[in-house]
Amino acid sequence: MVGRKLVAMLNEAGYEVNALSTRKNTTVQGAEVFFWNPKNFEIDAAALVGVSSIINLAGATVSKRWTTEYKQEIYDSRTQTAETLYKALSKNKNHSVKSYISASAVGYYASDLSNTYSEKDEPGSDFLAQVCIAWEKGADLFLDLNLRVVKHRIGIVLSREGGVLKELEPITKLGLAAPLGTGEHWMSWIHVDDLCGMIFHTLENESLEGPFNAAAPNPVTNKAFTKTMATALNRPAFLPNVPSFVLKALLGQMAQIAFMSQKVSAKKIIDAGYKFKYNTLPEALKALY
């Protein structure tokens, strides 16, 4: 969802793109595709020839029932990809890579209804926070190779092609949208165009490094998100809140995602010169719908 838009943006700016896929004979418009298998730490060495920057967005979706086995897959898919790339570069002392840009997530922070998190704040301790900590440690491996490292702590990505909107759109169109639990938990969101724009901005500006909150400047509560989504689709939003115990019964441990509350600040990336196309949720949803 993000990768396709990012490839198009990079092509438009004159970049040649190599894409990595775990499936052989895959095609990606605007990119040459190379095979890798991070589970076995395998990668086609040709993928890194002439490459100046690596952008690693890989990671298994968290929107799938959290069995013990799948939780391990969520974790491994983020650490093994970084380790595979690190090992490949470590073996090739003549590589041309200067920057490593990694995805992370706002799940790095503890769930909290009142705090506004900056990149200097400490991580949480729940499962997703532990995943993000390991994810970012994987990115920091590249500091040992004297690469510039950037970590984007990504919020809820808004796109009609996938993610939360693809799940909510049909429900909202039926007039069945409702806040979850109390509806007071914060949702730090970002339009997919701004996420790609931020990644591109940190690629082009080589003085930028470290973590950046990849979320728009105006987070909203779940209650406000539900109402704004309904307004964007010209549908009512009058149903009572969905009790938390119902979601926990349906989703198991994965219900944690539905109630997470991370209100994050975009000040660091704004101060670094990035200008958001979509500062408010109504603007973002209007552009999408």
* DSSP character string of 10-36: HHHTT--EEEEESSTT--BTTEEEEEE
Residue 237: predicted pLDDT? 86
Domains and CATH numbers, the chain: 2-88+95-288 (3.40.50.720)
Work out the average pLDDT over 102-130: 97
Residue 257: predicted pLDDT? 85
User: 31-37 and 42-43: which strand pairing?
Assistant: antiparallel
Q: Per mean pLDDT, which range of 47-61, 126-140, 242-256, 262-276 is the poorest? A: 242-256
pLDDT digits (tens, 9 = 90+) for 160-185: 999 999 989 999 999 999 999 999 99
Count how many residues are written for the chain: 289
Contact (CB, 8 A) for 103 and 56: yes
Q: Per mean pLDDT, which range of 72-76, 203-207, 236-240, 260-264 is the poorest? A: 236-240
Contact (CB, 8 A) for 113 and 184: yes
Please state, in angstroms and rounded to a whole number, the distance separating the CA atoms of residues 256 and 181: 11
Output the CA–CA distances (angstroms, integers) from residue 99 to 88, 139, 157, in the order listed. 15, 11, 24
Residue 125 in this model has a pLDDT that exceeds 90: yes
Residues 6+ apart with CB under 8 A from 236: 175, 230
Residue 146: predicted pLDDT? 97
* DSSP character string of 81-104: HHHHHHHHHHH-TT----EEEEEE
Residue 255 in this model has a pLDDT that exceeds 80: no
Please state, in angstroms and rounded to a whole number, the distance separating the CA atoms of residues 146 and 100: 10
Residue 252: predicted pLDDT? 85
The residue to which tokens 């298998």 are assigned: 37
Q: Is the pTM of this model over 0.85?
A: yes
Residue 276 in this model has a pLDDT that exceeds 90: yes
Residue 21 binned pLDDT confidence (cut-offs 50, 70, 90): very high
| Single-letter residue type at 143 | L
pLDDT digits (tens, 9 = 90+) for 81-108: 999 999 999 999 899 999 999 999 999 9
Residue 250: predicted pLDDT? 76
Residue 256 in this model has a pLDDT that exceeds 90: no
Work out the average pLDDT over 42-61: 96
